[in-house]
A and B are shown apart, each in its own frame.
Chain A
Amino acid sequence: MIQTLFGSLDEKKEPSFFERMKEAVTRTRESLAERIDDVVSIGKEIDRNTLEELEATLIGADLGTTTTKEVLAKLRDKADRKQIKDVGELKRLLKEEMLAILAATGAPPARVQKGPEVILVVGVNGTGKTTTIGKLAQVLRGQGKTVLMCAADTFRAAAIEQLEIWGQRTGVEVIKTKPGGDPSAVLFDALQAATARGTDYVIVDTAGRLHTKTNLMLELEKMRRTAQRIIPGAPHETLLVMDATTGQNGLQQARQFTQSAGVTGIVLTKLDGTAKGGVVIAISRELGLPVRYVGVGEKAGDLLPFDPQAFVDSLFA
């Protein structure tokens, strides 16, 4: 003000009112951690570092920036209403947020009245489809169900042999064709056999495929149509097998496979490593797809039902 009186209007030195406004606005758009800074004023013990740490934890667990941002924003809303005393409380609220996302997903499909129930297993290359099928057969056999496996991965070298070994281990017959054969044709055979025998479950192994390969995705659509023709309502469950090490590309995988193959649930494999598999939270949030099972090893018994609480706890472990 005084400067104006003295006629010194050097714009460069003193920020004008508008510049200050702009600065203030910019400040409110500061980075995520800084925005959550408001929380700090609520609980004295929670400082900026804590929030940065939480953000790093979530991003480091592969939740992705969008989901992380959203979860932390919701946390702030809660923090505004409640008094947050310490870091433990903050983490508890954060876990609640993530559990809410995971809980909002679909329930497992109702058991089919009259079998066979068809489970189609899909995913990109190397996620562990065949291994998961072996373990799933073990789970179902343990429940006293009859199971057939269908070796519809006719593409990858020795995929059929791999499934056959799992068949031997779990005492389940494998319906197969020659390498290079038509996956829909072997699916047709398997479903006919299962119908004739009154088998409870048919688990269908498919070739790993990148979700960007249009013709291979069309092949999955064809398999679905084939299944439907023989058993109305089939496939009753389509499981997308996803590697826990998968990053943000997992979202794209889930989107594309859901579009082509009608995914109804996810199996998260290789959780026995150090990867957290947080991308499934992003997937649940965006697509409402539930996680059904987790793979935790290479043995037949290493498939567990998904436990959201344990999963969310592990993100902070």
Chain B
Amino acid sequence: MFENLQEKLQRAFKSLRGQAVLSEENITEALREIRVALLEADVNFKVVKDLIDRIQAKAVGAQVMTALSPGEQVIKILRDELVETLGKDTAKMKFSSQPPSVILMAGLQGSGKTTTSGKLANWLKQGGHRPLLVSVDVYRPAAREQLKVVAQAIKAHIYEGEVGEANTATVERLAKEARREAIITGCDVLIVDTAGRLHIDEQLMDEMQLLKKLLNPSEILFVADAMTGQDAVRSADEFHKKLTLTGVVLTKMDGDARGGAALSIRQVTGQPIKFIGIGEKYDALEPFHPDRIVSRILGMGDLLSLIEKAEQQIDKKKAQEMATKALSGDGFSLEDFREQLRQVRKMGSIKSILGMLPSVGPLAGMQKAADQVDEKQINRVEAIIDSMTQHERLHHEVINGNRRKRIARGSGTSVQEVNNLLRQYAQMRKMFKQMGKPSFARRMAGMKMPGR
């Protein structure tokens, strides 16, 4: 997400390292780099100016009272400022005391309202809610059809209704009917997907205000594209002025956009970013954690997200079973090896996992390594194991020359690659066996940990 900004800031701080005192002079260069980096990250230039001024004021004033190095100090100040700007806490969803709670989705064309509506319904369902979806986008061709397909895919309720004429009266009627439907069918949340509109389109903005008055929503979410540039402040500001937004969803965060729009929108609306969209699948919606994103911006890694992801994706029971098996006498079969590969890959591409590690400190090299990871290599390993028979996977010793040839053909690889894999596997197996022996544990316990 924010890799590029991260690199730039680190370069800026490199020149600060080794300096004794933090003065107006020696932070100028760093501040200039920060300014360029933030602008290149699409943070609005007014917001950047503001940030830079605040950082400078704090940095120059704080020089005597700290034991941190100048670089660390500026990083800390910048970090605090960004966290401050983005809001400290993870935002929660508000529900009304009288169901159904209405969530009104608003935004420009193509920001991802319909997909986000689906993801949100899916997220609410997982949290034990009964959401009802309705699309009042009577303007864009096939927009309502799109939400219907999405609803079917996530098995969520949807109110379809009849359109008739494409005008505000229809929009109003559909909204009313959907609310009645929610009450009748016992749905506690109504998600209203609206047509994308420009903030300067008065007629359609009036329609939004009308919807707001009619439905009294507990949440009005502004859906914004993470790739948005300088104009983000203007559209967010207009939407906020007309509707009083309650939160923001930042979509398409799985790309390489640096997402400076997050800072701009937050600054101008004062409303929290509640979710980020991180993929095209319906579960690719995550609550927004400002501190984690900021850590990421500053090269401190997103370890918390990584740990959470691992916890969610990796089947703990399976992992435990595998560990016991690997360390016991039975050993670790090729079947287990494949399973382990699959578990790791459930968390995402190896590249994205490595990308979440800090790019400073002992793991500094890992992010660079991420660029060199060949995902295809892992695909090939899996293909090779897939091409083995069940018997071969459990008893690797039967794999002779002929079988190797067959496996290579079956997996579209070469005998050499099959040999390599078997060699690596044998090494792993040996290592696991060592670890399982009581003597190994004793040796480990007696060992001094480095750096303690």
Where the two chains meet, the residues of A that have a C-beta atom closer than 8 Å to any C-beta of B are: 26, 31, 56, 59-62, 64-65, 124-128, 134, 155-159, 161-162, 164-166, 179, 210-212, 214, 243-250, 252-253, 270, 272-276, 279, 298
Contact = CB atoms under 8 A, between A and B. Distances in A.
B256 A249 contact: yes
Interface in B98-149: 108-112, 114, 139-143, 145-149
B50 to A, nearest CB: 13
Interface of B is mostly: loop
A283 to B, nearest CB: 13
B225 A59 contact: no
Interface stretch (B40-48, B340-348, B420-428): B40-48
B257 A249 contact: yes
Contacts of B257: 247, 249, 252
Contacts of A26: 25, 28
A158 B110 contact: no
Given A31-B32, A249-B227, A273 B112 contact: no
Contacts of A179: 149
Nearest to B150: A157
Given A59-B39, A59-B45, A270-B110, 16 more contacts: A60-B45, A60-B230, A62-B42, A156-B146, A157-B148, A158-B146, A159-B142, A161-B145, A162-B140, A211-B256, A214-B375, A245-B228, A247-B229, A253-B227, A274-B198, A274-B231
B145 A273 contact: no
B231 A273 contact: yes
A62 B229 contact: yes
Given A59-B45, A246-B228, A249-B42, A125 B112 contact: yes
Question: Quick one: which of A26, A165, A249, A275 has the most chain B CB within 10 A?
Answer: A249
A48 B173 CA distance: 56
B79 interface: no
B254 interface: yes
Interface in B236-273: 252, 254-258, 260-261
A234 B314 CA distance: 46
A161 B147 CA distance: 12
B199 interface: yes
Contact of A247 (B234, B252, B261): B261
B254 A250 contact: no
Nearest to B36: A65
Nearest to A242: B227
B140 A126 contact: no
A298 B261 CA distance: 25
Contact of B141 (A124, A155, A162, A253): A162
B42 A212 contact: no
B254 A210 contact: yes
Contact of A212 (B141, B143, B256, B280): B256
Interface string B197-220: 011100000000000000000000
Interface residues of B, number: 50
23 contacts: A26-B25, A31-B32, A59-B230, A65-B36, A125-B280, A159-B146, A161-B142, A161-B146, A162-B145, A164-B142, A165-B142, A212-B256, A245-B228, A245-B231, A245-B232, A247-B227, A247-B261, A249-B227, A270-B108, A274-B200, A274-B231, A275-B230, A275-B231
Interface of B: 25, 28, 32, 36, 39-42, 44-45, 108-112, 114, 139-143, 145-150, 153, 198-200, 225, 227-232, 234-235, 252, 254-258, 260-261, 280, 375
A127 B42 CA distance: 18
Contact of A273 (B42, B235, B256): B235
B230 A62 contact: yes
Contacts of A252: 256-257
B252 A125 contact: yes
Contacts of A276: 231
Given A125-B110, A212-B256, A270-B108, A158 B142 contact: yes
Contacts of B145: 157-158, 161-162
Contacts of A62: 42, 229-231
B230 A157 contact: no
B42 A248 contact: yes
Contact of B227 (A60, A246, A274): A246
Contact of B235 (A156, A253, A272, A274): A274
Contacts of B280: 125, 155
A273 B199 contact: yes
Contacts of A211: 255-256
Given A59-B45, A126-B109, A157-B150, A248 B229 contact: yes
**Which 8 pairs from chain A and chain B are nearest by CB?**
A247-B229, A126-B110, A247-B42, A157-B149, A165-B141, A158-B146, A162-B142, A275-B231
Contacts of A157: 114, 145-150, 153
Contacts of B235: 245, 273-275
Nearest to A57: B45
Contacts of B147: 157
A243 B198 CA distance: 13
A279 B255 contact: no
B146 A273 contact: no
B110 A128 contact: yes
Contacts of B140: 162, 298
Contacts of B108: 245, 270, 273
B255 A273 contact: no
B111 A161 contact: no
Nearest to B146: A158
A156 B232 CA distance: 25
B225 A245 contact: yes
B225 A243 contact: yes
Given A165-B142, A247-B229, A65 B199 contact: no
Contacts of A246: 225, 227-229
Given A124-B255, A127-B110, A210-B255, A161 B141 contact: yes
B345 to A, nearest CB: 14
A183 to B, nearest CB: 15
Given A273-B235, A274-B234, A245 B255 contact: no
B253 to A, nearest CB: 10
Contact of B148 (A127, A158, A164, A253): A158
Contacts of A64: 39-40
Nearest to B229: A247
Contacts of A253: 227
Question: Quick one: which of A26, A65, A166, A214 has the most chain B CB within 10 A?
Answer: A65
A247 to B, nearest CB: 3
Given A65-B40, A158-B149, A161-B142, A247 B228 contact: yes
A126 B142 contact: no
Contacts of A272: 198
Contact of A245 (B45, B229, B252): B229
B229 A212 contact: no
A247 B260 contact: yes
A263 B44 CA distance: 29
A125 B40 CA distance: 21
A274 B199 contact: yes
